[in-house]
Amino acid sequence: MIKDLQLRISLKEEKIPNILLIKSAENLGMSRDKISGIKVLRKSIDARKPKIILNYKVAVYINEPVPETSEYTFDYKDVSKAKPIHIIGFGPAGMYAALRCIELGFKPIVLERGKNVQDRRRDLKAINQDHFVNEDSNYCFGEGGAGTYSDGKLYTRSLKRGDVRRIFENLVFHGATDQILVDAHPHIGTNKLPKVVTNIRETILKYGGEVRFETRVTDFKIKNNKIQAIQLLNGEELSANRVILATGHSARDIFYLLHEKKIALEAKSFAMGVRVEHPQHIIDSIQYHCSGQRDELLPAASYSLVQQVNNRGVYSFCMCPGGFIVPAATANGEVVVNGMSPSRRNNQFANSGIVVELNVERDFPKYEHFGVLKGLEYQKDLERLAFTAGGRTQSAPAQRLTDFVEGRLSSDLNSTSYQPGLKSAPLHSLLPKLIGGNLRQGFKAFGEKMKGYYTAEANVVGVESRTSSPVSIPRNENLEHPEVEGLFPCGEGGGYAGGIVSAAMDGERCAEAAVIGL
């Protein structure tokens, strides 16, 4: 017999050996020796009050063994001689599309403009130390996509788009810790993701798929509204009749290409702002009601904040406890910041994007002549502004949080995790009022919600601009572009996902759609 229980454990109780067994036996009114095992299904922290509680959902096995293997299996088969499906981009959407193709009996041929995870490291070092951006290999482009080197947060609200558990189980199958199956806000960690991504690639190759790195797509051959071939930068042309386009939200050249070919695109609303960085101990003290060090059983504290300001949302995005701010530009001449955390989340800083909702229909009147690309051009202009304000390197413009809100240049800045360095700049006046003014009001409100958050010990760093794609690529109910037969827009770049898990689920769905009729 199996009984599901909800258990509430205090921090003091959590330190008692076998506390889940003890609590389960008490809850069920039975002897402990009748319980053959306990499986943790979900774990979360309730820190709303000074007495912090750990909430567990457990399955209690009574007089029967706990199963040692997952109920999920992945039926990968040899597809070396099977019909091909071409996949452009090897981020979460592209990886999961390729894996699903193999399960369905089709050969994935993946074309990735960037490098594999190992070689990619040298290009990341060049951004951080030499301020040089390789436009094909950076924090956004390369094996595993943007997620590989930006944290690996797996929390998603997209529970109706597919089987979330299946996505997680496949990550565990490829080497992720099974803790992601339990945590309420699961996270793999930047230090562990590259190995998982490498294992996924090895599975694709083992079963007959192909993954081609440093292979940039420059054109599509289309005849009678059907995809015929893919043109590569090296001059090679690949015949193709099913193409999953999973290029991510930063592949601007793809948006320009489709626009030039008069293939329908749509302008899409998105959000932009800054990244704020606090010493982690400040966030810990606020969230855990403590002074000094947090309890050893508690992870680095996170937060989620939202405020309506002038009828638009100002909110935290991609919060990274115990993490780093990283340079996420995809071209020289721009500065973009993002955040990431290692698996232990043990860095001394906490950072989060704080962004403002932008409505593409009404917020960019000066950019209307760009048509569907108006949001993209607005985004680019702010990234160029950040580059100039940062000293025309990958150093980022920054202010102390209180100076930003109160409208004065910072005479000095706090220590930071951002390796290229910070340069004091008047972000409060450089950012458009639409963003800067609303951020300033938002920060004041956040200071009321989290006492101690509004402090001169925090830096505001600009700009956080790549929250999502400013362009979407339309598709019909068959997940195919309405004007180009055989082209399947997918993931974040198409406007159909907002993170690793939702992109992975969309990749699977596109694979299932692409093989129909082949």
What HEC string does 16-67 produce? CCCHHHHHHHHHHCCCHHHEEEEEEEEEEEECCCCCCEEEEEEEEEECCCCC
> Is the Cβ–Cβ distance between 493 and 251 less than 8 Å?
yes
Mean pLDDT, rounded, for 483-489: 98
pLDDT at residue number 343 = 87
Among the candidates 448, 464, 480, a domain finishes at 464
Is 144 among the domain residues?
Answer: yes
Is 75 among the domain residues?
Answer: no
Residues 285 and 350 both lie in one domain: yes
Q: Is the pLDDT of residue 160 over 70?
A: no
Residues 294 and 308 both lie in one domain: yes
Residues 389 and 427 both lie in one domain: yes
Give the pairing of strands 2-10 and 53-62: antiparallel
Residues 149 and 172 both lie in one domain: yes
Q: Is the pLDDT of residue 28 over 70?
A: yes
pTM of structure: 0.95
pLDDT at residue number 185 = 87
pLDDT at residue number 159 = 61
Is 430 among the domain residues?
Answer: yes
Q: pLDDT tens digit string along 321-369?
A: 999 999 999 999 999 999 999 888 999 999 999 999 999 999 999 999 9
Distance (Å, whole) CA 215 – CA 230:
11
Give the pairing of strands 349-358 and 422-424: unpaired
CATH number of the structural domain spanning residue 40: 3.30.70.2700
Q: Is the pLDDT of residue 158 over 70?
A: no
Residues 450 and 492 both lie in one domain: no
Torsion of CA 177, 179, 185, 191, to 10 degrees: -30
Query: CA 398 → CA 15, 128, 172, 427, distances in Å?
Result: 42, 17, 39, 7
Residues 259 and 346 both lie in one domain: no
> Is the Cβ–Cβ distance between 86 and 111 less than 8 Å?
yes
Average predicted confidence (pLDDT) for the chain: 96
Domain that holds residue 31: 2-62
Residues 405 and 289 both lie in one domain: yes
Is 68 among the domain residues?
Answer: no
pLDDT interval class at 150 (50, 70, 90): low
Residues 314 and 340 both lie in one domain: yes
Distance (Å, whole) CA 76 – CA 105:
8
Residues 294 and 382 both lie in one domain: yes
pLDDT at residue number 338 = 96
The DSSP output letter for 191 is T
Residues 247 and 284 both lie in one domain: no
- The DSSP secondary structure of 152-167, one letter per residue, reads -B---S-TTSS-HHHH
Residues 118 and 222 both lie in one domain: yes
Domain count, the chain: 3
Is 311 among the domain residues?
Answer: yes
Instruction: Tally the residues of the chain.
Output: 518
Beta strands in 75-156 (DSSP E): 84-88, 107-111
Mean pLDDT, rounded, for 114-134: 96
pLDDT interval class at 148 (50, 70, 90): confident
Residues 276 and 414 both lie in one domain: yes
Q: pLDDT tens digit string along 440-460?
A: 999 999 999 999 999 999 999
> Is the Cβ–Cβ distance between 379 and 361 less than 8 Å?
no
Identify the weakest region by mean pLDDT among 34-43, 157-166, 177-186, 264-273: 157-166
